[in-house]
Structure 1
Amino acid sequence: MRATVRLHRRGDRWPVLRTLSFVVGLTILFWVTSGSPAIYGQVLFSAHMVAHMTLTMISPMFLVLGAPVTLALRSLPSRTDGTRGPREWILWIVHSPFGRFITNPVVAAVNFAGSILVFYYTPFFGFSLQEHLGHEFMNVHFLLTGYIFASVMIGIDPLPRKALYPLRLVILLATMAFHAFIGVAMTSSESLLQASWFGSTGRDWGPSAIADQQIGGAVMWGIGEVPTVLMAVAVAVMWSRTDAKETKRLDRKADLNDEAELKAWNRMYEELAENEEPRR
């Protein structure tokens, strides 16, 4: 909020919808880490999955649409004495080799989707349940992987490279298929994940541990698909707008140079046709 006020005082404008989107993302983040999902997620796998999918897919989407990096770069002062302030450090991180690596669309997608598989089918899941440090590491990791993935797919903040729109759609479709596969596997599984924990809570209410896990698989499938579809729609709209802008740019260029490029192509084709005629 301070950054938007600073821009306003300077005479610059910042879209209200971006501010609202970022506030919504923070509100969702606060709820999922401090509300009922965080509490019941310790005894119900389904509640844990609500927290996980909200943390990695829903909250990051709103945060990314708020364009916090762009806002920071526009509001923070630039240093001219050769030292690095907050603005310079942000630019350095974004354009560093590590920044280029983690924002590579393929790397971001593998990290985003692969983290689910590694987390639930390795001891990391048990570590997050038994240790507070593991729980906080899980929250930070899934939030960051979700944020980077959403930023690469639909973000407007500066990145070392922008992924091509067809590649974004392919990655989103692959992510949907992966979520569906894992969700169906959990829904149909009769083997309890972290049985020593969820099978020993001693609760006498709610569904059984295995039935609750199957509900959690359905939650993963359901919550995971909707944001992905919304991002795919957003990518398609962005692609269409970019093509429309490029078409207008080319039209303006043609008007300014009296369609010189088109005439050059026509002359080239005429010369090729003339050179071919004697051979016939």
Structure 2
Amino acid sequence: MDGMTGMHHHGELGPFSLHAVLTWSPDWPFLLGSLLAFGLYVAGVVRLARRGDRWPIGRMVAFTFGVLTIVAITCSGLNDYGMALFSAHMIQHMVLSMLSPILLLLGAPITLALRALRPAGKGRPRGARELLVALLHSRYVKVISHPAFTIPLFIASLYGLYFTPLFDTLMQSRIGHLAMMVHFLGVGLLFFWPIMGVDPGPHRPGHVMRIIELFMGMPFHAFFGVAVMMATTPLVTTFNAAMAPPGTDLMADQKLAGGITWAFGEIPTAVVLIALVFQWAKSEQRQATRKDRAAERDGDAELVAYNAYLASLEKRGNRPAQAG
């Protein structure tokens, strides 16, 4: 156990306290990833500002807090305790899968990217913007962002992880732990993407449907929390007496983990509902601008098709006779 990477602070963990949690203990992949995401976001906002476009300050604030929540739970003492205590791990899981994604999505990063990336000029190969648009319209994204996929995935990553040996297997390696954390964030982003709906995506259900989707996932989440609270035996072997801070009651800690899960479900539900009500109120005025944008987009699509047609003719070598 001692030889394991990432477990070098084994035995040194003191009691689980706020002070211990607030110590700086960077997890480099997460820190660098967060800084990169934030840097790109700011660069996008700056590019829009230079062009004279306004980007809502609220989105910038939401995205910034989203990035901060990720850094706070992966680069602090909480991450060290997350290796040794079920309750600490559960806080990480809940924030990464249910709080960070909502804040990041409220920042509308896809919309920002689509506005900030310059379209490839006439006759040029497809640039980043065109690839992003193509990806958004791809069958792959249609499938992975469909509620029939995201809701079961959201549920399975709770039950499938902790009620099978999978969790213990992943926790044995640094890479496994990292992959699991990235998975939590990814699943959360996918689950809330169709619901939060600031960004364009293949599935844009109406506001009522979004609320239904939100509430479809939550009972399973609450029930999972209750199941963990009521379990009379340890669910996972990773969190054992050897790993835990001295004097830890492992069953009490597991009950606490279940309680955290159960209670945490209420936070995103409240945040999402408030956000949805605001979006709903704004969507009326937005529909008008959307119609204008759709007209522009159709124009773009025709231009792209025409450019492709000209390029294909040039390849064949029989250029069309110049008009005029």
- Shorter-chain TM-score category? 0.7 to 0.9
Within 1, Cα distance between the matches of 2:213 and 2:77? 32
Q: TM-score, normalised by structure 2?
A: 0.71
Within 2, Cα distance between the matches of 1:238 and 1:14? 16
Gaps of 5+ in 2: 1-41, 289-324
CA radius of gyration, larger in: 1
Question: Where does 1:14-53 land on structure 2 (aligned, <5 Å)?
Answer: 14-53=55-94
Gaps of 5+ in 1: 248-280
Structure 1 position 179 matched with structure 2 position 213:
no
Aligned to 1:152: 194
Give the count of matched residue pairs. 246
| Partner AA of 1:31 in structure 2 | A
Aligned to 1:264: none
| Partner AA of 1:54 in structure 2 | V
Aligned to 1:230: 271
Aligned to 1:133: 175
Q: 1:99 aligns with which of 141, 150, 158?
A: 141
Give the direction of change, closer, same or farther, for the CA distance of 1:91–1:149 in structure 2 (3 Å limit): same
CA offset at residue 237 of structure 1? Answer: 4.1
Within 2, Cα distance between the matches of 1:75 and 1:120? 41
Which range is displaced more, 34-43 or 200-209? Answer: 200-209
Aligned to 1:54: 95
Residues 187, 215 of structure 1: 8 Å contact kept? yes
Q: 1:83 is paired with a residue of what secondary structure?
A: coil
Give the direction of change, closer, same or farther, for the CA distance of 1:175–1:241 in structure 2 (3 Å limit): same
Q: 1:162 is paired with a residue of what secondary structure?
A: coil
| Partner AA of 1:235 in structure 2 | L
Residues 105, 168 of structure 1: 8 Å contact kept? no
Which range is displaced more, 39-48 or 155-164? Answer: 155-164
Q: 1:78 aligns with which of 84, 95, 119?
A: 119
Which whole-Å deviations, capped at 9, do the CAs of 1:172-226 have from their partners, x for residues lacking one? 222221111011111111110223x222425453531111011000000111221
Residues 187, 214 of structure 1: 8 Å contact kept? yes
Q: 1:198 is paired with a residue of what secondary structure?
A: coil
| Partner AA of 1:165 in structure 2 | H
Give the direction of change, closer, same or farther, for the CA distance of 1:88–1:147 in structure 2 (3 Å limit): same
Within 1, Cα distance between the matches of 2:178 and 2:151? 22
Q: 2:132 is paired with a residue of what secondary structure?
A: helix
Structure 1 position 189 matched with structure 2 position 228:
no
| Partner AA of 1:29 in structure 2 | I
Identity of aligned residues (%): 37
RMSD value over aligned CA atoms? 2.0
Give the direction of change, closer, same or farther, for the CA distance of 1:36–1:125 in structure 2 (3 Å limit): same
Within 2, Cα distance between the matches of 1:28 and 1:201? 29
| Partner AA of 2:133 in structure 1 | L
Structure 1 position 9 matched with structure 2 position 50:
yes
Q: 2:212 aligns with which of 170, 180, 197?
A: 170
Within 2, Cα distance between the matches of 1:205 and 1:185? 26
Residues 64, 147 of structure 1: 8 Å contact kept? yes
Residues 197, 204 of structure 2: 8 Å contact kept? no
Q: 2:265 is paired with a residue of what secondary structure?
A: helix
